[in-house]
Structure 1
Amino acid sequence: MKLKLFKENYAVCNLSNNISSPICIDTNSFYYITKFKEDLSIICLKKSIPKDASTDGDWRLLEILKPINLYLVGIASKISKMLKDCNISIFEIEVEDKNYFLIKESDVDNACEILEYNGFRFI
């Protein structure tokens, strides 16, 4: 199974519904927006953090390259469990047939070693 580790740093941003300025995001890069009631969250490049956002930065993005389908059930949960068992926190994002993980920059090297040891390959 092949994985891609993005070089850029990402941030998880939280905003209120009453933001005072427009949100400008680099749409050529990965971003993710979710809203529920009064909570608005954005995952974007660290350089694109919206004004007035509270943030948790220094995340790196990892993508499972082969689309997850019925024949590959459990790949994302396998990765989650391997990293959790080694005390590496992740933020998992699923979009249609793609799975992504945010991993703290400080844990990236360790996470990559664990995944490679368990048969995953990085491109």
Structure 2
Amino acid sequence: MKRLTIDLRPDEYVLSRLPGGSSLPALPTGSGFVSVTSTPDEISLVTPAGHEPAGAKVDGGWRLLTVRGPLEFTLTGIMASLAGSLAAAGVSLFAVSTFDTDHILVKQTDVQRAVHALREAGHEVHA
């Protein structure tokens, strides 16, 4: 696996869930990472803490690790390498991919273990 450069973002993030078909709230684009995924059953959002929608089911205390990109679509094994390293260290993750790169959220309580595991796997992590 190619050595990846990963940035640990300083802010806290929250995961939110709204019922499928809900209207999307105003989102803080331009100030941190925001992700929206919609299925018929749910809308999942990742936002900086303090921007979770009213009435949503919320899980807070997440930190964001971003692989420096852009990454070519022909690259294989990136998420497998990251997820495997974290799984071996007992760290749960929430993964999001964008057009340019991959992002992983880990609980704040697991950040140090996650950074250590990724560095042990040969990746460069900037905190």
TM-score, normalization: structure 1? 0.88
Distance 2:13 2:95 in 1: 13
Structure 2: gaps spanning 5 or more residues: none
Give, in whole Å, the separation in 2 of the partners of 1:76 and 1:97. Answer: 13
Considering fraction of residues, name the structure with more helix.
1
- The 5 A counterparts of 1:1-123 are 1-16=4-19, 17-18=21-22, 23-28=25-30, 29-69=32-72, 72-123=75-126
SS state at 1:48 partner: coil
SS of the residue corresponding to residue 25 of structure 1 reads coil
Task: Name the CA distance, whole Å, in 1 between partners of 2:29 and 2:125.
Answer: 24
Unaligned residue ranges in structure 1 (runs of 5+): none
Return the offset for 1:70: 5.4
How big is the alpha-carbon RMSD for the aligned residues of Structure 1 and Structure 2?
1.7
Aligned-partner Cα distance in 2 for 1:96–1:70: 9
Q: CA deviation at 1:89?
A: 0.3
TM-score computed with the length of structure 2 as normaliser: 0.86
Indicate conservation of the 8 Å contact 2:14/2:46, yes or no: yes
Shift of 1:47: 1.2
Structure 1's consecutive aligned runs of 4 or more residues displaced over 4 angstroms after TM superposition are none
| 1:83-116 CA distance string (max 9 Å, x none) | 1112110011111131000111110011101111
**Secondary structure, aligned partner of 1:10:** strand
| Contact persistence 2:118–2:125 (CA under 8 A) | no
Contact 2:22–2:43 under 8 Å retained in 1:
no
- The superposition leaves residues 45-71 of structure 1 with CA deviations (integer Å, 9 ceiling, x where unpaired) of 111011111111111111110333256
What is the aligned residue count?
121
Question: Identity percentage over the alignment?
Answer: 25
Q: Which moved more, 1:70-79 or 1:28-37?
A: 70-79
Work out the CA distance in 1 between the residues paired with 2:29 and 2:10. Answer: 16
Question: What is the letter of the counterpart of residue 82 of structure 1?
Answer: S
Secondary structure of 2:50's partner? helix
